[in-house]
Chains A and B, each alone.
Chain A
Amino acid sequence: MTARMDKRFADVAAEGRPVLVTYFMAGDPDFETSLSIMKALPKSGADVIELGMPFSDPMADGPAIQLAGQRSLKGGQTLAKTLEIARRFREDDQRTPIVLMGYYNPIYIYGVDRFLTDALAAGIDGLIVVDLPPEMDDELCIPALEKGINFIRLATPTTDDRRLPKVLENTSGFVYYVSMNGITGSALPDPSLIGGAVARIKAHTNLPVCVGFGVKTADHARAIGASADGVVVGTAIVNQIASSLTEEGKATDATVPGVEALVRGLSAGVRSARLAAAE
């Protein structure tokens, strides 16, 4: 069940470097382009893929990811098509873990049982559902764990030591530490503070801790990767895609190569993270 995820984290840890987790929005700007982007990610150095599920009202996201969702929905993307992208990706790649990330309502409307069955069949390894805190675990988290799909929880600076055990209780795969209060795409906080936060979470769990929100460059990735088990990059990739589009929001020849170049740079960043930390 969690084998693919656990193996990937173990293998990368054995290489002595942090995991690079890359996020992009399924269907942005269209189905075929985003399938090409997804296929390009592991080749460019991504270790884990977070596949965004577009939602009309992304309350925890900044403008970049909100616009990506709007482009995707305008292009006719649906949850069924997002699962189809994952399924097509799996035809060529059985080793890169895929985490679906988004909001609960499209899953709820799809039907939780049907969704979990179809997600498993499509080769999904984990879920991040932003608006399902531990208090709502009966909705999706528990059914997902029973089916063998990881439920990855966000921990934030507001998650104090009193609350942390509750947040970690049904978390599996990895813990996603949101490095600041706020929405996706904001500025990166002081990396030295992040080291302390990661240590605080690790005192409560044996799961790997990945850090995201605000990681934009190879230097950021290197700095975060010095203390975290993984680095999550989202908005920077989404912005890269957006900058490559035509005025009408259509993909160009630069769309996929642009993402490849960015991710190669980020990958070089995480690969030198521990070296930098040891210096």
Chain B
Amino acid sequence: MNQAPKLNSFRGGPDEDGRFGIFGGRFVAETLMPLILDLQDEWDKAKNDPAFKAELEHLGAHYIGRPSPLYFAERLTAELGGAKIYFKREELNHTGSHKINNCIGQILLAKRMGKTRIIAETGAGQHGVASATVAARFGLPCVVYMGATDVERQAPNVFRMKLLGAEVKPVTAGSGTLKDAMNEALRDWVTNVEDTYYLIGTAAGPHPYPEMVRDFQAVIGQEAKEQMLAAEGRLPDLVVAAVGGGSNAIGIFHPFLDDDSVKIVGVEAGGKGIEGDEHCASITAGSPGVLHGNRTYLLQDGDGQIKEGHSISAGLDYPGIGPEHAWLNDVGRVEYVPIMDHEALEAFQTLTRLEGIIPALEPSHALAEVIKRAPKMGKDEIILMNLSGRGDKDIFTVGKILGMGL
């Protein structure tokens, strides 16, 4: 009997070599290949293991605080006078962002693999805090690589990591931001292959990380879908999320990819403007290249040297993007747009004043796009935005820019 023709789906990737179209793959040094293959084996087993799923769900409910609420932003909606705006409140998770969803999943894998030491990279510090948290919870030593520039501008998170028992190693190479931290974490990993688990914080890097991180973060979109159906009896018309590496975005996007009626928008950091070099809009202003184990859109010069990005938000300050986003852009399923620093800053203040929620600067980018689009949409239309992190870590950065004294 012939097989039924396969449905056209945007959710089938990656293929067995870790590719999303031309993007993704396993561009790593030979030293790391056996580790990545081991990780893939373990992940393939774990994701089909009911006991693993049960432990993940238990920790999700009792440690992270899942499901996170779906919140109707009534005053913001009224102020903008258009579409109804809902937030998926990932900022209410333990540790204050979506990052913990992935960290819990990966540390359970690390335990299964018998690894005894955790390393991680961090930009804004949210992933570093989440990594340090799960390392404390599971009693494993943790080293977090963080760009020296970020150590300075995200001091509260550095302090949190230290309190949690992690060792924070500032990285001065390059511009001292997320990409340099990732280089340094990879160097640690090739040196300590036997005992060390590299807990990558975003849906990028060599296969199977982009797929694995996405699957751990897809709980965001799965919950939001059910919650939206319960609240409104239908799916949203527009889903919006900020994209740096892209883990919170792929987490909320993925369950909606095959719902044709749902428009999806990813928001990149436009920094001081995409005409110059001071931005992190990899898709809007970059080109395909190979970095950190995968092919994806990168900010680079004509010789293939990677450029330093800029964003007001440390969490978006990365010159690449997860490979699945690169593919979703090229096939036209998701639209990627830039938002400038000053627009994000305005959105940050708007939400704080109107809803009493201090958002992180990362989702403030998504919010700025929502603020642009909502007034142009009908009152019967619905926007779902991933409020991926809270802004406590950013108050000093914002206060400094606004000239507020303490």
Instruction: Verify A183–B34 contact, CB threshold 8 A.
Output: no
Instruction: Verify A183–B30 contact, CB threshold 8 A.
Output: no
B interface residues, how many (CB within 8 angstroms): 37
User: Which residues in A have their C-beta under 8 angstroms from that of B193?
Assistant: 158, 181
Q: With contacts A106-B304, A156-B30, A186-B191 known, is A59 near B290, CB below 8 A?
A: no
List residues 179-212 of chain B with CB under 8 A from any CB of chain A: 179, 183, 186-187, 190-194
Query: Looking at the complex, which one of B174, B292, B303 makes contact with A79 (CB distance below 8 Å)?
Result: B303
CA distance A215 to B66 in the complex (A): 53
- Using an 8 Å CB-CB cutoff, how does the interface string of A119-162 with B read, 1 for contact, 0 for none? 00000000000111111100000000000000001111111100
User: Which residues in B have their C-beta under 8 angstroms from that of A107?
Assistant: 304
User: Is the CB of A275 closer than 8 A to any CB of chain B?
Assistant: no
The segment from B21-29, B53-61, B244-252 that touches chain A is B21-29
Query: Looking at the complex, which one of B30, B179, B287 makes contact with A159 (CB distance below 8 Å)?
Result: B30
Instruction: Verify A109–B31 contact, CB threshold 8 A.
Output: no
Residue of A62, A156, A158 with most chain B CB atoms under a 10 A cut-off? A158
User: Is the CB of A57 closer than 8 A to any CB of chain B?
Assistant: yes
Instruction: Verify A183–B191 contact, CB threshold 8 A.
Output: yes
User: Which residues in A have their C-beta under 8 angstroms from that of B191?
Assistant: 181-183, 186
Q: With contacts A57-B291, A105-B290 known, is A133 near B179, CB below 8 A?
A: no
Instruction: Verify A60–B290 contact, CB threshold 8 A.
Output: no
User: Which residues in A have their C-beta under 8 angstroms from that of B33?
Assistant: 133-135, 158-159, 163
User: Is the CB of B35 closer than 8 A to any CB of chain A?
Assistant: yes
List residues 150-205 of chain A with CB under 8 A from any CB of chain B: 153-160, 163, 167, 178, 181-183, 186
Instruction: Verify A154–B289 contact, CB threshold 8 A.
Output: no
Question: Chain A, interface size: which category?
Answer: 35 or more
Query: Looking at the complex, which one of B29, B295, B303 makes contact with A133 (CB distance below 8 Å)?
Result: B29
CA distance A58 to B191 in the complex (A): 15
CA distance A54 to B303 in the complex (A): 10
Instruction: Verify B290–A181 contact, CB threshold 8 A.
Output: no
User: Which residues in A have their C-beta under 8 angstroms from that of B174?
Assistant: 56-57
Interchain pairs with CB closer than 8 A, number: 117
List residues 134-190 of chain B with CB under 8 A from any CB of chain A: 173-174, 179, 183, 186-187, 190
Q: Which residue of B lies closest to A69 (CB)?
A: B305
Min distance, Cβ A33 to any Cβ of chain B, angstroms: 20
User: Which residues in A have their C-beta under 8 angstroms from that of B380?
Assistant: none
User: Is the CB of B377 closer than 8 A to any CB of chain A?
Assistant: no
CA distance A134 to B298 in the complex (A): 24
Query: Looking at the complex, which one of B30, B183, B194, B287 makes contact with A153 (CB distance below 8 Å)?
Result: B30
Instruction: Verify A55–B305 contact, CB threshold 8 A.
Output: yes
User: Is the CB of A78 closer than 8 A to any CB of chain B?
Assistant: yes
Q: Which residue of B lies closest to A153 (CB)?
A: B30
CA distance A125 to B303 in the complex (A): 22
Q: With contacts A59-B186, A182-B190, A183-B190 known, is A109 near B302, CB below 8 A?
A: yes
User: Is the CB of B313 closer than 8 A to any CB of chain A?
Assistant: no
User: Is the CB of A73 closer than 8 A to any CB of chain B?
Assistant: yes
User: Is the CB of B306 closer than 8 A to any CB of chain A?
Assistant: yes
- Using an 8 Å CB-CB cutoff, how does the interface string of B7-18 with A read, 1 for contact, 0 for none? 000000000010
Instruction: Verify A163–B34 contact, CB threshold 8 A.
Output: yes
Min distance, Cβ B97 to any Cβ of chain A, angstroms: 26
Q: With contacts A56-B174, A183-B187 known, is A178 near B31, CB below 8 A?
A: yes
Instruction: Verify A60–B31 contact, CB threshold 8 A.
Output: yes
Instruction: Verify A66–B289 contact, CB threshold 8 A.
Output: no
Residue of A54, A62, A132, A135 with most chain B CB atoms under a 10 A cut-off? A135
User: Is the CB of A104 closer than 8 A to any CB of chain B?
Assistant: yes
Instruction: Verify A136–B25 contact, CB threshold 8 A.
Output: yes
Min distance, Cβ B165 to any Cβ of chain A, angstroms: 26
Min distance, Cβ A222 to any Cβ of chain B, angstroms: 26
Min distance, Cβ A175 to any Cβ of chain B, angstroms: 11
CA distance A157 to B192 in the complex (A): 12
Q: Which residue of B lies closest to A130 (CB)?
A: B29
Residue of A130, A134, A159, A182 with most chain B CB atoms under a 10 A cut-off? A182
Instruction: Verify B34–A181 contact, CB threshold 8 A.
Output: no
Instruction: Verify A136–B27 contact, CB threshold 8 A.
Output: yes
User: Is the CB of B300 closer than 8 A to any CB of chain A?
Assistant: yes
- Using an 8 Å CB-CB cutoff, how does the interface string of B282-317 with A read, 1 for contact, 0 for none? 000001011111010010101111100000000000
User: Which residues in A have their C-beta under 8 angstroms from that of B34?
Assistant: 158-160, 163
Instruction: Verify B27–A131 contact, CB threshold 8 A.
Output: yes
User: Which residues in A have their C-beta under 8 angstroms from that of B291?
Assistant: 57, 105
Query: Looking at the complex, which one of B29, B293, B305 makes contact with A154 (CB distance below 8 Å)?
Result: B29
CA distance A266 to B71 in the complex (A): 69
Q: Which residue of A lies closest to B194 (CB)?
A: A181
User: Which residues in A have their C-beta under 8 angstroms from that of B28?
Assistant: 131, 133
Given contacts A57-B174, A103-B290, list 19 more A-B pairs with CB under 8 A: A57-B179, A59-B292, A79-B303, A79-B304, A104-B27, A105-B304, A108-B304, A109-B300, A131-B293, A133-B27, A133-B28, A135-B25, A135-B33, A153-B30, A159-B33, A181-B190, A181-B191, A181-B193, A181-B194
Can you give 23 contacting A-B residue pairs, CB < 8 Å?
A57-B174, A57-B292, A66-B173, A73-B305, A79-B303, A80-B303, A104-B27, A104-B290, A105-B290, A108-B289, A110-B304, A130-B29, A133-B29, A133-B33, A136-B27, A153-B30, A155-B30, A156-B29, A158-B31, A159-B30, A181-B31, A182-B191, A183-B191
Could you list which residues of chain B lie within 8 angstroms of chain A, going by C-beta atoms? 17, 25-35, 173-174, 179, 183, 186-187, 190-194, 287, 289-293, 295, 298, 300, 302-306
The 6 lowest CB-CB distance pairs between A and B, nearest first, are A109-B304, A106-B304, A182-B191, A56-B305, A105-B304, A156-B31
